[in-house]
Amino acid sequence: MTVTDGLSRRTLLVRLGIGFNVLVAALLGVPIVRYILSPVTRERRPGYESWLSLGSVDQFPAGQTRFATYRNPVVSPWDGETATIGCWVRHVDGEKFQVFAINCAHLGCPVRWFPQSSLFMCPCHGGAYYADGSRASGPPERGLFEYSHKIVAGKLLIKAGEIPTPGDVAGIAAEKPSCA
């Protein structure tokens, strides 16, 4: 075959070969991308959150704020201690509770409750919150993250399972700063 338009049979075959490989690569790319995105796509289907028990409501005396822990609902056998998460339970009175995430609404450090001054304080960048979780001072732009909760058969249940972040991943209701 003579070369007429600058495209010989061999060049065409090379190009077809490259095109074939691009197609195969694209086909292989689909499972690879889906594998990498698994934590994202999985989150969208059943969701990571579920109702968890923090134990009997009797453990939380009225008018006090106490530390509680729960085992995350989605765990791997090799998660170790990291799957046990802390939270702050505030028993206002009667059936009224507030359950705050341990993570500061600024950048996620663990806040500590100081009953003496009725403040949550963060050890990282100096955020502080009032007893009701609203922002008191420091860099946080909002109040503490709060879990939905309910009381079933004398047990305090919260809806949890995902680390709360300022980007509001878990859709945990934003605590509007109340006027102090």
Partner 1 sequence: MQNVGDWFDQRLQLGTPIRATMAHPVPRQTASWFYVFGSAALTVFTLQLVTGILLAIVYVPSAGEAWSSLQILNHAISLGWFIRALHGWGSNFMIAIVLIHMVQVFLFGAHKFPRELTWVIGVLLLLMTLGMAFTGQVLRFDQDAYWGLGIGVSISSRIPVLGPWLVSLLLGGPIIAGATLSRFFALHVFVIPGLLIAFVVVHLLLVLKLGINEWPMPGRVVRRATYLQEYQQLTHGAQGVPFVPVAVWKDIFFSGFILLSIAACAAILGPFGPGGAPDPTIIQTAPRPDFFFLWLYAVLSLLPPSLETPALLIGPAVVLLVLLGLPFVSGEGEKSWQRRPIAVLTILLLAVALGTFTHLSGYAPWSPAMDAWSSDPIPPQYLKGRTALQRQGALVFQVKQCHNCHALDGHGGQRGPALDAVAVRLTQDQLIRQVIQGGGNMPAYGKNLSPAETTALVAFLETLHPAGQASARDASRAVALSTSGDGSFSPRP
Residue 177 binding partner 1, by CB under 8 A? no
Closest to 145 in 3D by CA, of 96, 177, 105, 86: 105
| Using rule CB under 8 A, residue 96 touches partner 1 | no
Only one of the segments 2-10, 57-65, 146-154, 163-171 lies at the binding site for partner 1 (rule: CB under 8 A); that segment is: 163-171
Alpha-carbon distance 123 to 112, whole Å? 8
Stretch that binds partner 1, among 9-17, 35-43, 57-65, 148-156 (CB under 8 A): 35-43
When the beta carbons of 87 and 157 are compared against partner 1, the nearer one is: 87
Binding mask 72-91 for partner 1 (x = CB under 8 A): x-xxxxxxxxxxxxx-----
Phi and psi at residue 46, to the nearest 5°: -80, -20
Task: Return d(Cα 161, Cα 51) in angstroms, integer.
Answer: 9
Taking CB under 8 A as the criterion, the residue among 19, 21, 56, 168 binding partner 1 is 168
| Interface with partner 1 in residues 42-71 (CB under 8 A) | 43, 48-49, 67, 69
CB of 28 to partner 1, least distance (A): 18
Q: How many CB atoms within 10 Å of residue 102?
A: 21
Work out whether the CA dihedral 13, 16, 20, 22 comes out positive or negative.
Answer: positive
Is residue 109 within 8 Å of 124, Cβ to Cβ? yes
Nearer Cβ to partner 1 (57/68): 68
Q: How far is the CB of 109 from partner 1 (least distance, A)?
A: 5
Alpha-carbon gap, residue 123 to 107, rounded angstroms: 11
Choosing from 89, 103, 133, 147, the residue that interacts with partner 1 (CB under 8 A) is 103
19 contributes a contact to partner 1 by CB under 8 A: no
Tell me the backbone φ, ψ of residue 111, rounded to 5 degrees: -80, 150
